[in-house]
A and B are shown apart, each in its own frame.
Chain A
Amino acid sequence: MNEIMDMFQAVVRTPMIIVAAFVGTAWGIVGGAMPGISPSIAMALLLPFTYGADPAAAVVLLASTYLGAEYGGSIPAILIRTPGTNSAAATVLDGYAMKEQGKAGDALGISLYSTLVGAVFGVLMLLTLTQPLAQVALAFQPQSYVGLGVLGLSVIASCSEGSLVKGLMAGVIGLMIATVGTDPVTGVNRFTFDHPDLLSGIPPILVMVGVYAITNLLEQASTPAWVQTNSNEARLKMPGPLMRARLRLSQVIGCIIGFIEGLTPGGGGAISAFISYNEARRWSKNPEEFGKGSPEGVAAPEASNGAVSATSLIPMLGLGIPGSNSAAVLLGGFLIHGMTPGPLLFTKHADIMSGFYAGKVISLVALLVLGYLILRPCIWLVNRPKHYLMSFILALVLSGVYAIQGSLFHVGIAIGFGVLGYAFKILAMPVLPMILGVVLGFMVESNYRRALVLSDGDHMTFVEEPICAALLLLAAVFLIYSIVRHYRDVAKAKQIGLAA
């Protein structure tokens, strides 16, 4: 109770916190909705403005931006098949399928509702358990990350519709893309062909924007303009009681996975969104709907994103160690105002932290209000005549990709991935395994080699470390399960074919 009083008093003392929560959330939604502007970029752009501001309001502003951006990324993912942020890439799968069926309003409502559920859960964890949970981050060693990555890659086996071999090929191509850049152990440049823009690798968002957004544009261009797509009702629909009941399981899955990923530095929102998506499918009553416009397929990754936006702050606040780029920017925001996050933060700056927590709670309200307000104009925009819509998406993507590092070379890479995605379509290769390879490749490789340096080349280290062993076991079980199911389905399909 005392804490709640403290938070209330902090708001009374600094009403600016409320303004900061709303401004930050709004800014985050806009920034996140722009492909290429990641949550961390949106936050970093605000950082200079926080220099003169009240410390509590400043950190609230940044943290609200993070939440807003995590949500904002899903808007273009659903409406125009363009993930606004890395972690919105999983939302594209079913969100855009729903939009194609004329259910954009429902999809957006589900995404807003699920992000809120995840964020409320995450903020609760943040408010109550920051200190003990920060210790969880310490339990993760390089081996553990290998286990986590392999678990993520095991998803490939179950998301290769049609041909398992082609799915694995796409996955390997993804892993290959992830090897571009500076080698994690020796620092040698690999596959960079001496180009400075390739030194830090190919940003996953380029691949995602390429194979989702640009490929979609190319496909749309190849269907004649007179083919009318479903128009979408210009209204946002929040899910009703029946739908809420249906979404519950997938949201719980999203929350739990997002929570764990948030705590482990280096995991990242995109990985947890994809794992949540896949687990939601595994546990769903209607797994066959996934990929064809399942509401649960939107709910799971969005709940995970909401949870990550709060729980990834836990290691930063509790240990002073930022686990993601966004957390690093927020850390900068604390440092600017003379506060050093870490074990002593809560004792040294108790009043500011009350204000910060109060701001986190207010930003949840802000997300609900602003999320609701912004969707109407967004839906209006996507209902414009097709040739305008397509040309505008093209312009948006070209502008947004440039914004990542101010590099036209990157724009070229994204266009290249658009062509690759188109080729995948023609060759009937699944694209999702490639995305997983790109997202997970670097984490798996760097930690695999790091663990071997530590163990002097002994592979037993992966079995001896308990977290890694457990995750590997889980991955093996999933893998066998999906391969058996795959071949059973193939056999069944053959039987039906013969009978017919």
Chain B
Amino acid sequence: MRLQTFFRPVLGALACLTLAQSAHGQTAPKYPKETVILATHSSPGGGSDVFLREMAPHLTRAMGVNFAVENISGGSGAKAMAVLAKAKPDGGMFYATTPTFIYTSLMSKVETSYRDLEPLVNVFYDPEVVYTAAESKFQSLKDVIDNARANRGKWGAANPASLERQVLERMKTVTGVRAAVVTFEGGGDMQINVLNRTLDIGIGELGEIKPQLEAGKLRVLAIMGDARIEQMPDVPTAREQGVDVSVRKFRGLAAPKGTPPEIVAAWEAGIQRVLADPAYKKVYVENGLQPAFIPHKDYGPFIAEFARDTEAFLKAASVIK
């Protein structure tokens, strides 16, 4: 009945393994903490949770520190932000950033918002792609836009006031077409409606649609980022197809305010090292992630700019006042 007892030998073995590997051949300066907590608002198995848990063992090798992932769910991130803002800035606790924490900060009156945290470094972009059913007639983003101009497009985004919705709305604005943007409660729901061709296109993260992509049931039409991605070099970006929309769904870390510079430096070195690690690279490429290290000095302004854009969008759409 006691699960801990049941899996403890396994966990123990795993811990020994990672420690043994971290013991040899590292030149990194000593990190002030032995165990570091990586917190996320996502529940186990969710996007940020998988990101942290998969990175943790590799990061242990790169930084010589043990990591424990903690799920602080509740209030769409409001609770995790509050916990982190109150934590001591001694390098013992960090928070996985995604656009969600900015959306939550903007959309409700949270006591602690993204402004109360210190963006540390960015690690990845999670590429957003536009896709359609394999047997649909659309071969490029242009086909989709032309169809929407002639008839009336049906486009799907996973959640109502989300980054994905924002991209589709901007696509409507720059091309001037009239398309119905339908929102769902999560990506799976929407995928079904792309597969059964209720929708012309859907937008989502590459990792989400992988099974259907591999099975040849979906086709990616455009990458919604600044550049093509390694996993599918043949698929052009939206900009290449004449639709000037680009978005960067980021995955990085934030720290409590006042984190000392030597800890920041340790993380900047550690993240760069872990991204170059071939063993980890295999894992994250498989998951459709795009390495995107942003150093501390640029990450703060990056987050601030992202928040400004989002706020402008939400205000223009009168989602918030």
Direct contact of A and B (CB under 8 A): yes
One of A47, A200, A320, A322 near B76 (C-beta < 8 A): A200
Within 8 A of A (CB), among B290-321: 317, 319
| Complex contact B45–A343 (CB within 8 A) | no
| Complex contact B212–A184 (CB within 8 A) | no
Within the assembled complex, what's the spacing in Å between the Cα atoms of A340 and B212?
10
> Which residues of A sit under 8 angstroms from B165, Cβ to Cβ?
187
Residue A73 lies at the interface, judged by CB distance under 8 Å to chain B = no
> Which residues of B sit under 8 angstroms from A51, Cβ to Cβ?
14, 53
Residue B192 lies at the interface, judged by CB distance under 8 Å to chain A = yes
| Complex contact B214–A344 (CB within 8 A) | yes
Q: How far is the CB of B167 from chain A (nearest CB, A)?
A: 14
Q: How far is the CB of B122 from chain A (nearest CB, A)?
A: 23
Known A137-B192, A406-B73: A27·B107 in contact at CB below 8 Å? no
* Candidate in B13, B182, B189 with the most chain A CB atoms within 10 angstroms: B189
Residue B219 lies at the interface, judged by CB distance under 8 Å to chain A = no
Residue A84 lies at the interface, judged by CB distance under 8 Å to chain B = no
Residue B59 lies at the interface, judged by CB distance under 8 Å to chain A = no
> Which residues of B sit under 8 angstroms from A187, Cβ to Cβ?
107, 159-162, 165, 183, 319
> Which residues of B sit under 8 angstroms from A192, Cβ to Cβ?
108
* Candidate in B154, B192, B193, B212 with the most chain A CB atoms within 10 angstroms: B192
| Complex contact A454–B154 (CB within 8 A) | yes
Residue A332 lies at the interface, judged by CB distance under 8 Å to chain B = yes
Known A49-B3, A185-B183, A187-B160: A329·B44 in contact at CB below 8 Å? yes
Residue B69 lies at the interface, judged by CB distance under 8 Å to chain A = yes
Closest to B4 in A: A49
| Complex contact B1–A340 (CB within 8 A) | no
| Complex contact A321–B192 (CB within 8 A) | yes
Residue B210 lies at the interface, judged by CB distance under 8 Å to chain A = yes
One of A52, A183, A188, A336 near B14 (C-beta < 8 A): A52
Residue A228 lies at the interface, judged by CB distance under 8 Å to chain B = no
| Complex contact B211–A320 (CB within 8 A) | yes
| Complex contact B185–A196 (CB within 8 A) | no
| Complex contact A199–B76 (CB within 8 A) | yes
One of B109, B154, B185, B196 near A266 (C-beta < 8 A): B185
Q: How far is the CB of B117 from chain A (nearest CB, A)?
A: 16
Within the assembled complex, what's the spacing in Å between the Cα atoms of A266 and B191?
13
Q: How far is the CB of B95 from chain A (nearest CB, A)?
A: 16
| Complex contact B11–A52 (CB within 8 A) | yes
Residue B198 lies at the interface, judged by CB distance under 8 Å to chain A = yes
Known A27-B3, A53-B7, A199-B76: A332·B45 in contact at CB below 8 Å? yes
> Which residues of B sit under 8 angstroms from A235, Cβ to Cβ?
none
Within the assembled complex, what's the spacing in Å between the Cα atoms of A275 and B272?
55
Within the assembled complex, what's the spacing in Å between the Cα atoms of A73 and B153?
45
Pick from A138-146, A219-227, A297-305, A432-440 the stretch touching chain B.
A138-146
> Which residues of B sit under 8 angstroms from A456, Cβ to Cβ?
152, 180
Within the assembled complex, what's the spacing in Å between the Cα atoms of A26 and B109?
41
Closest to A341 in B: B211
Known A196-B110, A332-B44: A344·B74 in contact at CB below 8 Å? no
Closest to B162 in A: A187
Residue A125 lies at the interface, judged by CB distance under 8 Å to chain B = no
Residue A128 lies at the interface, judged by CB distance under 8 Å to chain B = no
Residue A46 lies at the interface, judged by CB distance under 8 Å to chain B = yes
Closest to B103 in A: A187
Q: How far is the CB of A137 from chain B (nearest CB, A)?
A: 6
Closest to A348 in B: B214
Residue A412 lies at the interface, judged by CB distance under 8 Å to chain B = no
Within the assembled complex, what's the spacing in Å between the Cα atoms of A340 and B288?
13
| Complex contact A265–B189 (CB within 8 A) | yes
Within 8 A of B (CB), among A169-220: 182-189, 192, 194-197, 199-200
| Complex contact A47–B214 (CB within 8 A) | no
Residue A333 lies at the interface, judged by CB distance under 8 Å to chain B = yes
Within the assembled complex, what's the spacing in Å between the Cα atoms of A266 and B46?
18
One of B11, B185, B286 near A184 (C-beta < 8 A): B185
Within the assembled complex, what's the spacing in Å between the Cα atoms of A46 and B217?
32
> Which residues of A sit under 8 angstroms from B176, Cβ to Cβ?
none
Closest to B188 in A: A321
Closest to A330 in B: B45
Within the assembled complex, what's the spacing in Å between the Cα atoms of A329 and B215?
22
| Complex contact A340–B196 (CB within 8 A) | no
Within the assembled complex, what's the spacing in Å between the Cα atoms of A457 and B189?
21
> Which residues of A sit under 8 angstroms from B14, Cβ to Cβ?
51-52
| Complex contact B196–A342 (CB within 8 A) | no
One of B71, B184, B212 near A320 (C-beta < 8 A): B212
| Complex contact B211–A344 (CB within 8 A) | yes
| Complex contact A405–B182 (CB within 8 A) | no
Closest to A137 in B: B192
Within the assembled complex, what's the spacing in Å between the Cα atoms of A454 and B184?
12
| Complex contact A454–B198 (CB within 8 A) | yes
| Complex contact B214–A340 (CB within 8 A) | yes
Within the assembled complex, what's the spacing in Å between the Cα atoms of A330 and B79?
25
Residue B35 lies at the interface, judged by CB distance under 8 Å to chain A = no
One of B13, B109, B188 near A322 (C-beta < 8 A): B188
> Which residues of B sit under 8 angstroms from A319, Cβ to Cβ?
191-192, 195, 211-212
Which 9 residue pairs are nearest across A and B when measured between Cβ atoms? A332-B45, A187-B161, A342-B211, A320-B211, A187-B160, A343-B215, A196-B75, A196-B78, A47-B44
What are 13 of the A-B contact pairs (CB < 8 Å)?
A46-B3, A52-B13, A140-B196, A187-B162, A192-B108, A194-B109, A196-B110, A319-B195, A332-B44, A338-B286, A340-B214, A407-B79, A454-B180
Other CB < 8 Å A-B pairs besides A23-B1, A329-B44, A332-B49, 15 of them?
Answer: A19-B6, A50-B7, A141-B198, A183-B160, A186-B161, A187-B160, A188-B161, A196-B108, A319-B195, A328-B45, A329-B45, A336-B50, A336-B53, A450-B182, A454-B182
Residues of B within 8 A of A (CB): 1, 3-4, 6-7, 10-11, 13-14, 43-46, 49-50, 53, 69, 71-76, 78-79, 104, 107-110, 152, 154, 159-162, 165, 180-185, 188-189, 191-193, 195-196, 198, 210-212, 214-215, 217, 286, 317, 319
